[in-house]
């Protein structure tokens, strides 16, 4: 089943803004080619993880091999690549795209072009793809295919005359899509006799097979028993199995140029299988690796602590298990005076952080406290030494700091005109620098440079709320720049709470300090004693609030002789206190840690 | 040996009040004779185990024990006097609902040996009485009080305040009327929403709201102020009495003394040397009855309490009292050093804040401010 002639292979991705119908179209293509028996068909076949299904996002790249007899009478093999669907995974997306020669650009004909549409198209163009525009949801009364075609031409700069008009939901014109793949997308190229070069697209951990590696062969062959070498780290493994996804894993004798499939080789952890790496033959290695490999570097860090200190060991094991399947996430032990023993964890972005946190609680049943996310600052000390700061609590004393650099991003925001003012205000409030402001049909497209630090705190939420959900947003990293940054410490009952300290630009420090004190006042329930809350830069207090003592808390009714019940109630209360963090006489609920640094209530 | 109090539970009521989570049940008919026999068997069973001790109090609680056949009370009182050494000033209390039916039988209970009555008046206003689902009006309650006053040397009644929308001035006025009617003891409870009651459902649905902590605190302070004008002091969180008129039965609980509990769902604490046993009984009346008839008792659980549990119980009850606790007594009752029962840092903080204080006699008591926050104070203070 392998060694299909190159001319009859098509490798393609579907790119789309969220909810424009990527998953639905993929399902239809799988169905129409009879790849999965009708009875095995379930919605969104490719979104495997529960979390992926729920959120409608794809975290891991996946492929499915489709067999299609085209109108020209020839039998094609289509490899559909489902790429991860979020900016946090921009690098992973670029590697998935590098495994394909073409893309279907799916645009919701009732919505038109969105920020992610653009970002994805640019990436596909960068990957050298041939792009076929597909207008989806034309069954909707609100669909305006002609207007959207015009938009694709004006904004995206693609010829949309031959855009395929479909309804993925009803199945209308799926045939048109299949034909377009066969006739309009280019076949892969490659040398069957050259030294093996296969692109490592993604990998995941399977408890039975070990690590499953998703590959795209460029030159040469992959076969069972072959000794392969990872070119980035030189590690060598013996292939146990090669095969293709239908989307079930089906073994094959070998995989040749242009083909996509999987390799298993008794690999224990995905940390050994770097996305973007080149796999070659150990005995007859290629001279050069494929271009574009980058080790993944976390951009956002936060501390994760078990609510119940007894769960630390469980957290350690769970993180190790998660890392088996996600090498882009990093963790190192950390102690906090406030929170005890935990881990500082690095993520590709905010969504990635949220996903990991959610998986820890869902799959491993862990109750966690997360500290506010922090970006990575570069600090130059007066002695010339440079350090990377992952945790504001570790910030050196101001007297030894020469300068601090912070990461910036370039953000693209599309928003209807009505909300443009509010969006620009938001960006300006967050120290944004306008790069470009143009119009896409009746919508504005604002390109801004923003400090990442200003984005990690609830920027998405704010953007959504000021635009009533109509703004779409995408970003890419855009280098480091020096900034006038200070560390703000939070003192509860005159004691600094390390887990609540954070970095801010000096111009925003007073406002942020005030907001956080106010927020904490709301979040920390009144207790036996009154509690002063302060924000400070170094020794200087910039804001303060006081939580007054609770005024009455006594059950003034008759209990009779049932003391047991009263005692059990007391024990439950004490148990409940365990879930709070004790600071001397004061208890802070974990919600305070999570919400404290969101700037707007 | 520790002196004893005896609690007897009568689990039936004419109707279920929407706020009440006591073990009370509504039955069309109750076989009084069988329940009387069963209660007497449980009493004999407990007396056998406890041995002959001084008996300081008998309390008929409920439910609505005033619906019990007075002959049952008479038989149980006579049995108890025969099985134990009744203290000369033994207190024998009957809880009664102030409906006209029950008012008519109060004399028979006095003849049976009851010497103290506690009436569930709940309010002297018609609208709250209806809200609380009571089957009597204020006039009936006052009439019942007058009858009881003529019959019993000691008399108390209950009111429920901190009701939805209750204004401080209105409560003061109502309470003053109540104090004028009162003898030397009142129980003044704040309406508490208990899980599983009809009020719990309605409250969760937002059908009514309760005064918030600040308002409840103000009402509580107003209550003590009004009571003081009539010479009644809050000797416990919600109990007010003239000196010497305190409920001896309830003091036995709050001072963590020994007590037997018989009847459906009744609890007991009984010490033997260094151990202290907690017992509880089957709650459902019919099941309780069947078990007693079969086994002679309906105990469903009995355990020797750990020293830590005993210390917690002793403290959580004792700190409700204005007199506070005696550390030596706590240590003796729990067989745990007092220092091991409380968190020293928290104790220091609470002393400093003025929530607790040491009396010249070496007792630890919650101050007025402390008692107002006792539910928060206890989990902080106790280990
Ligand atoms: N009316 C209509 N709805 C569609 C069509 N295609 C997809 N949808 C719906 O649009 C929503 C998002 O689709 P999905 O495939 O999950 O989008 P994805 O986020 O791009 O994967 C789902 O509720 C689909 O049922 C279509 O052709 N017509
Ligand atoms: C054992 S109960 C009832 C005695 C008697 N059956 C009656 O209703 O008068 C004793 C007292 O507890 C009080 N009480 C019962 N439930 C209450 C609640 N949920 N909140 C406040 N007080 C309550 C009432 O004042 C009641 O009179
Ligand atoms: S409050 Fe009294 S009368 Fe009402 S249900 Fe409870 S025990 Fe019965
Ligand atoms: Mg999807």
pLDDT in tens, A439-463: 876 678 899 999 998 888 778 878 8
B 86-115: CB under 8 A from A: none
How large is the average pLDDT for residues B206-217? 94
B356 in the same domain as B248: no
Over residues A201-233, the pLDDT tens digits come to 988 888 888 899 999 999 999 999 999 999 999
Q: In whole angstroms, what is the distance from residue A226 CA to residue B341 CA?
A: 69
Confidence of residue A117 (pLDDT cuts 50, 70, 90): confident
CB contact under 8 A, A528 and B192: no
Q: In whole angstroms, what is the distance from residue B117 CA to residue B97 CA?
A: 10
Residue where a domain stops, chosen among B252, B284, B301: B252
A554 contact residues in B (CB cutoff 8 A): 237, 371-375
Residues less than 5 Å from ion ligand 4, measured at CB: A 23, 56
The bound ligand whose nearest atom lies closest to the alpha carbon of B13 is: 3
Mean pLDDT, all residues of chain A: 87
Confidence of residue A561 (pLDDT cuts 50, 70, 90): confident
Q: In whole angstroms, what is the distance from residue A546 CA to residue A551 CA?
A: 14
The finding on whether A55 has its CB within 6 A of some atom of ligand 1 is: no
Interface test with B, best of A525, A554, A586 (most B CBs within 10 A): A554
What's the CATH number where B124 sits? 3.20.20.70
How large is the average pLDDT for residues A504-518? 90
Asked if the structure places residue B10 within a domain, the reply is yes
The finding on whether A20 has its CB within 6 A of some atom of ligand 1 is: yes
How large is the average pLDDT for residues A233-241? 95
pLDDT at A41 over 70: no
- Best mutation site among A14, A15, A19, A21 for ligand 1, i.e. most ligand atoms within 8 A of its Cβ? A21
Asked if the structure places residue B259 within a domain, the reply is no
Widest CA span in chain A = 90
Q: Which residues contact B81 (CB under 8 A, 6 or more apart)?
A: B55, B113
B 148-177: CB under 8 A from A: 158, 162
B317 in the same domain as B240: no
Asked if the structure places residue B334 within a domain, the reply is yes
Question: What's the token pair of residue A183?
Answer: 């006739």
Residue A500 carries which DSSP code?
A: G
CA-nearest residue, atom 2 of ligand 3: B63
The finding on whether B93 has its CB within 6 A of some atom of ligand 2 is: no
The finding on whether B160 has its CB within 6 A of some atom of ligand 2 is: yes
Residue where a domain stops, chosen among B252, B267, B297: B252
How many structural domains compose chain B?
Answer: 2
Q: Which residues contact A441 (CB under 8 A, 6 or more apart)?
A: A112, A113, A147, A150, A151, A154, A155
From A557, A566, A574, residue closest to B190, measured CB to CB: A557
B238 contact residues in A (CB cutoff 8 A): 556-558
Q: For residue A556, which of B323, B239, B174, B200 has the smallest C-alpha distance?
A: B239
Higher pLDDT, A272 or B172: B172
Residue A34 carries which DSSP code?
A: T
Domain holding B319, by residue range, is 311-383
B323 in the same domain as B244: no
B47 in the same domain as B192: yes
Q: In whole angstroms, what is the distance from residue A39 CA to residue A499 CA?
A: 51
Higher pLDDT, A21 or A271: A21
Q: For residue A108, which of A83, A84, A140, A85 has the smallest C-alpha distance?
A: A140
B170 in the same domain as B39: yes
B342 in the same domain as B227: no
pLDDT at A585 over 70: yes
B211 in the same domain as B83: yes
Interface test with A, best of B161, B214, B380, B383 (most A CBs within 10 A): B380
- Give pLDDT, residue A79: 95
B373 contact residues in A (CB cutoff 8 A): 528, 549-550, 552-554
Partners of residue A446 on adjacent β-strands: A413, A437
Q: In whole angstroms, what is the distance from residue A501 CA to residue A407 CA?
A: 19
CA distance A547 to chain B (A): 14
Q: From the centroid of its chain, how far is CA B211?
A: 24
Annotate chain B with three-state secondary structure: CCCEEEEEEECECCCCCCCCCCCCECCCCCCHHHHHHHHHHHHHHHHHHHCCCEEEEEEEEECCHHHCCHHHHHHHHHHHHHHCEEEEEEEEEEEECCCHHHHHHHHHHHHHCCCEEEEEEECCCHHHHHHCCCCCCHHHHHHHHHHHHHHCCEEEEEEEECCCCCCHHHHHHHHHHHHHHCCCEEEEEECCCCCCCHHHHHHHHCCCCCCCHHHHHHHHHHHHHHHHHCCCEEEECCEEECCCCCCHHHHHHHCCCEEEEECCCCEEEEEECCEEEEEEECCCHHHHHHHHHHHCCCEEEEEECCHHHHHHHHHHHHCCECCCECHHHHHHHHCCCHHHHECHHHHHHHHHHCCEEECCCCCEEECHHHHCCHHHHHHHHEC
pLDDT at A42 over 60: no
CA of B176 to the centre of ligand 3 (A): 25
Percent of chain B at pLDDT exceeding 90: 96
How large is the average pLDDT for residues A325-345? 86
B183 in the same domain as B72: yes
B239 in the same domain as B110: yes
Q: In whole angstroms, what is the distance from residue B136 CA to residue B126 CA?
A: 9
Asked if the structure places residue B294 within a domain, the reply is no
Give φ, ψ of B108 to 5 degrees.
-65, -35
Asked if the structure places residue B271 within a domain, the reply is no
A559 contact residues in B (CB cutoff 8 A): 253
Sign for the pseudo-dihedral over CA of A282, A285, A290, A291: positive
The answer to whether A552 and B372 are in contact (CB under 8 A) is: yes
The answer to whether A82 and A65 are in contact (CB under 8 A) is: no
The finding on whether B17 has its CB within 6 A of some atom of ligand 3 is: yes
Residue where a domain stops, chosen among B217, B252, B287: B252
Higher pLDDT, A585 or B333: B333
Confidence of residue A49 (pLDDT cuts 50, 70, 90): very low
Give the angle A61-A62-A67 at the CA atoms, nearest 5°: 145
Asked if the structure places residue B286 within a domain, the reply is no
Residue A311 half-sphere exposure, CB side, CA atoms within 13 Å? 20
A356's torsion region: left (phi>0), alpha (psi -120 to 50) or beta? alpha
Over residues B47-101, the pLDDT tens digits come to 999 999 999 999 999 999 999 999 999 999 999 999 999 999 999 999 999 997 7
Interface test with B, best of A493, A549, A552, A570 (most B CBs within 10 A): A552
CB pairs under 8 A, 24+ apart, for A590-593? A590/A307, A590/A369, A591/A523, A592/A520, A592/A523, A592/A524, A593/A339, A593/A369, A593/A370, A593/A371, A593/A372, A593/A499, A593/A500
What's the CATH number where B346 sits? 1.10.10
A529 touches chain B (CB under 8 A): yes
Over residues A387-444, the pLDDT tens digits come to 999 888 889 988 899 999 999 999 988 888 889 999 999 999 999 999 999 987 667 8
B220 contact residues in A (CB cutoff 8 A): 552, 556
Q: In whole angstroms, what is the distance from residue B251 CA to residue B191 CA?
A: 22
Q: What is the CA radius of gyration of chain A?
A: 27
pLDDT at A1 over 70: no
pLDDT at B213 over 70: yes
B353 touches chain A (CB under 8 A): yes
**Residue B19 CA: which ligand 3 atom is closest?**
1
Q: Is A371 in a helix, a strand, or coil?
A: coil
From A551, A564, A571, residue closest to B214, measured CB to CB: A551
A564 touches chain B (CB under 8 A): yes
How large is the average pLDDT for residues A133-162? 94
Asked if the structure places residue B70 within a domain, the reply is yes
From A528, A561, A570, residue closest to B253, measured CB to CB: A561
B152 in the same domain as B17: yes
CA of B162 to the centre of ligand 2 (A): 14
Q: In whole angstroms, what is the distance from residue A585 CA to residue A579 CA?
A: 15
Q: For residue B64, which of B99, B104, B110, B108 has the smallest C-alpha distance?
A: B99
B 304-333: CB under 8 A from A: 309, 312-313, 316-317
Asked if the structure places residue B272 within a domain, the reply is no
CA of A137 to the centre of ligand 1 (A): 8
- Give pLDDT, residue B344: 92
Higher pLDDT, B81 or A340: B81
Q: What is the CA radius of gyration of chain B?
A: 21
B162 in the same domain as B79: yes
Q: For residue B187, which of B132, B256, B249 has the smallest C-alpha distance?
A: B249
pLDDT at A369 over 60: yes
How many C-beta neighbours within 10 Å does residue A540 have?
Answer: 7
Lowest mean pLDDT among A320-334, A533-547, B365-379: A320-334
Q: What is the pTM for the complete model shown? A: 0.64
B223 in the same domain as B97: yes
Question: What's the token pair of residue A2?
Answer: 């392998």
From A551, A555, A562, residue closest to B192, measured CB to CB: A555
Q: In whole angstroms, what is the distance from residue A450 CA to residue A463 CA?
A: 14
ipTM value greater than 0.90: yes
DSSP per-residue letters across A554-579: ---S--TT-HHHHHHHHHHHHHHHHT
């Amino acid at each position: 089943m392998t060694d299909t002639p190159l001319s009859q292979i098509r490798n393609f991705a579907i790119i789309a803004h969220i909810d424009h119908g990527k998953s639905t179209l993929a399902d239809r293509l799988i169905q129409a080619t009879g790849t999965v028996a009708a009875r095995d068909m379930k919605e969104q076949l490719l979104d495997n993880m529960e979390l992926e299904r729920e959120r409608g996002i794809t975290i891991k790249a996946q492929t499915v091999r489709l067999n299609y007899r085209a109108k020209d009478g020839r039998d094609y093999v289509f490899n559909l690549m489902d790429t991860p669907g979020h900016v946090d995974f921009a690098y992973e997306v670029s590697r998935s795209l590098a495994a394909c020669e073409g893309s279907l650009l799916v645009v919701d004909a009732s919505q038109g072009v969105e920020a992610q549409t653009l970002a994805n198209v640019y990436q596909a163009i960068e990957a050298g793809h041939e792009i076929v525009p597909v207008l989806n949801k034309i069954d909707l009364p609100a669909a305006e295919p002609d207007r959207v075609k015009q938009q694709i031409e004006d904004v995206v700069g693609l010829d949309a005359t031959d855009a395929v008009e479909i309804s993925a939901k009803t199945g209308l014109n799926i045939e048109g899509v299949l034909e377009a793949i066969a006739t309009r997308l280019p076949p892969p190229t490659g040398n069957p006799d050259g030294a093996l070069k296969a692109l490592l697209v993604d990998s995941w951990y399977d408890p039975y097979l070990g690590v499953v590696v998703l590959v795209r062969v460029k030159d040469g062959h992959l076969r069972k028993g072959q000794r392969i070498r990872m070119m980035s780290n030189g590690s060598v493994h013996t292939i146990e199995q090669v095969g293709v996804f239908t989307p079930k894993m089906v073994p094959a004798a070998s995989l040749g140029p242009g083909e996509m499939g999987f390799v298993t080789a008794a690999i224990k952890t995905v940390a050994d299988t770097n996305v973007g790496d080149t796999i070659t033959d150990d005995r007859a290695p290629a001279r050069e690796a494929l271009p574009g490999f980058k080790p993944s570097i976390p951009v956002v860090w936060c501390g994760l602590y078990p609510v119940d200190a007894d769960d630390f060991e469980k957290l350690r094991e769970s993180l190790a298990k998660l890392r088996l399947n996600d090498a882009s996430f990093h963790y190192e032990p950390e102690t906090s005076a406030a929170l005890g023993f935990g881990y500082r964890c690095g993520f590709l972005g905010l969504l990635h952080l949220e996903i990991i946190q959610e998986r820890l609680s869902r799959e491993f049943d862990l109750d966690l406290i997360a500290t506010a996310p922090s970006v990575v600052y570069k600090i130059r000390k007066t002695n010339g030494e440079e350090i990377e700061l992952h945790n504001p609590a570790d910030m050196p004393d101001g007297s030894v700091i020469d300068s601090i650099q912070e990461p910036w991003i370039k953000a693209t925001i599309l928003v209807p005109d009505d909300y443009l003012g509010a969006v620009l205000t938001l960006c300006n409030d967050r120290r944004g620098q306008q790069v470009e402001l143009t119009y896409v049909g009746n919508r504005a497209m604002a390109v801004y440079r923003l400090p990442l630090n200003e984005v990690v705190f609830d920027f998405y939420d704010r953007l959504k709320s000021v635009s009533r959900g109509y703004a779409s947003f995408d970003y890419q990293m855009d280098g480091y720049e020096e900034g006038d940054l200070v560390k703000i410490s939070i003192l509860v009952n005159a004691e600094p709470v390390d887990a609540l300290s954070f970095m801010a630009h000096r111009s925003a420090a007073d406002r942020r300090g005030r907001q956080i004190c106010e927020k904490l006042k709301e979040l920390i329930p009144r207790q036996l004693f009154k509690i002063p809350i302060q924000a400070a830069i170094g020794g200087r207090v910039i804001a303060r609030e006081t939580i007054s003592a609770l005024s009455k808390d006594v059950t003034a009714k008759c209990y009779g002789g049932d003391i047991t019940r009263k005692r059990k109630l007391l024990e439950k209360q004490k148990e409940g206190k365990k879930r709070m963090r004790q600071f001397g006489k004061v208890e802070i609920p974990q919600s305070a840690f999570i919400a404290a640094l969101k700037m707007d209530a | 040996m520790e002196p004893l109090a005896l609690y007897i539970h009568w689990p039936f009521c004419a109707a279920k009040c929407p706020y009440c989570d006591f073990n009370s049940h509504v039955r069309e008919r109750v076989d009084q004779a069988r329940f009387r026999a069963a209660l007497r068997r449980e009493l004999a069973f407990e007396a056998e185990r406890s041995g002959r001790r001084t008996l300081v109090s008998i309390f008929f609680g409920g439910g609505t024990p005033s619906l019990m056949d007075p002959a049952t009370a008479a038989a149980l009182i006579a049995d108890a006097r025969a099985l134990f050494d009744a203290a000369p000033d033994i207190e024998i209390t009957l809880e009664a609902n102030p409906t006209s039916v029950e008012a008519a039988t109060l004399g028979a209970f006095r003849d049976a040996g009851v010497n103290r009555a506690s009436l569930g008046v709940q309010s002297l206003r018609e609208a709250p009485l209806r809200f609380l689902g009571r089957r009597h009006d204020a006039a009936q309650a006052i009439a019942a009080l007058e009858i009881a006053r003529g019959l019993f040397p000691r008399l108390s009644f209950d009111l429920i305040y901190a009701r939805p929308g209750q204004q401080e001035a209105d409560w003061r006025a109502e309470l003053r009327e109540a104090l004028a009617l009162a003898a030397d003891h009142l129980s003044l409870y704040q309406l508490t929403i208990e899980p599983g009651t009809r009020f719990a459902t309605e409250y969760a649905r937002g059908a009514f709201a309760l005064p918030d902590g600040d308002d409840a605190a103000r009402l509580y302070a107003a209550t003590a102020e009004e009571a003081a004008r009539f010479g009644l002091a809050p000797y416990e969180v919600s109990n007010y009495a003239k000196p010497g008129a305190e409920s001896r039965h309830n003091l036995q609980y709050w001072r963590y003394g020994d007590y037997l509990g018989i009847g459906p769902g009744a609890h007991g604490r009984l010490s033997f040397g260094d151990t202290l046993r907690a017992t509880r009984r089957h709650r459902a009346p019919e099941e309780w009855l069947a078990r007693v008839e079969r086994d002679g008792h309906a105990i469903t659980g009995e355990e020797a309490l750990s020293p830590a549990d005993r210390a917690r119980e002793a403290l959580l009850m004792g700190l409700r009292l204005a007199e506070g606790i005696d550390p030596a007594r706590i240590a003796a009752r729990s067989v745990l050093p007092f220092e091991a029962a409380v968190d020293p840092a928290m104790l220091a903080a609470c002393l400093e804040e003025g929530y607790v204080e040491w009396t010249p006699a070496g007792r630890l008591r919650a101050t007025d401010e402390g008692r107002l926050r006792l539910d928060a104070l206890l989990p902080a203070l106790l280990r």
